[in-house]
Amino acid sequence: MWTTEGTENTEGGSNGEEAAFRVFGAHMQVLFYLSHMDYKKYISDSPPVSVIGMGTWQLGAAADWKLLSEKDAIRIVEVALEEGVNFFDTAPNYGQGESEERLGKALRHTDRSKVILNTKFGHTVDGNIDFDPGKIRRSIEGSLRRLQIDYLDSVLFHNPPAELLNGNRAPEHYELLEKLKAEGKIRAYGASVDTYEEMKVLLDTTKGSVVEVFFNILHQDTGRAFEQAEAQGVAVIAKIPLDSGWLSGKYGSQSIFRGVRSRWSPADIEQRGALVEAVEEILAPDFRLPQAALAFCMAHDAVSTVIPGSGSLAQLRSNLLSLDKPLPPGLIRKLQLFYKEEVQPLRLPW
């Protein structure tokens, strides 16, 4: 529910949605649609998590494509909380530590037991990659300090080398994580991975109880391990659900990219644009692409939470609208078949 100083009123929005308004004299400005959040199981020692969480890479002033002020970053988190979001995903290297710092400031007056915080290890504040087990404790303590908390709900290896996903080949890492659990500094651990093969090794060889996976309409391969994760009680976080913006409706075959997105070649862009058009045709006329993309991820029982980024209140609002219109099973099957027949053979780059 929106809360703010001044006059507040709620009225029915379009399509039966509720809208929040603030009144300025004779003028009424729409602020937000009130979401109806759902929650799922995460780990045994945490409350249920909001099915839409919040990826916080964009909260750092050093985010790749634009600058976000601390005031705006904190306001986005505050509104997310008001809308029922209680899961926040971050990492030390997001904004060179600034994402964690701003998130900590935004949450400092919030009941710690009501929010779930997930961070990572391996990509450092100063931009280096270092998975030395001797650095795990220091990294976690740095995250705790920046977030202004005394424990983390979960810590993940941040896209580590393949050998670190195998508990039999990296026992020192996992023994230390178990020790940190016993000390109460963390409640769960796991890894952030991109492929089915990586996910499978983690599930088969470790006691990790959380896995963050690259999963969306155009990248469904990790879904092959969802049944095993669910059977083992391992929480699944769906990352990159809008496929780095391709499923947001903003990009097409003529788009030009800079920064981290310049990794795509002209051929990649043309190919991805054509696939997005095909997905939009499957969804038409009843579903908009960005909301359907998030709803697709949420429709999988194994997925505890989906973590789109929110670099603005408008993005946050767009993400939350996906709660209003679940995808019917028949449409989910069409999207799964489209992936199997049209997308999987292409082996799309991330």
What average pLDDT does range 243-251 have in this prediction?
94
Q: What is the pLDDT of residues 252-284, one digit of tens each?
A: 999 998 877 888 899 999 999 999 999 999 999
Average pLDDT, the chain: 89
pLDDT at 27: 35
pLDDT at 132: 97
Residue of 209, 242, 195, 239 whose CA lies nearest to 347:
195
What pTM did the predictor assign?
A: 0.89
Domain boundaries in the chain?
1-34, 36-246+297-329
**Architecture in CATH for domain 36-246+297-329:** Alpha-Beta Barrel (3.20)
Asked if residue 266 lies in contact with residue 295, where contact means CB atoms within 8 angstroms, the answer is no
**Within 13 A of 331's CA, how many CA atoms are on the CB side?**
21
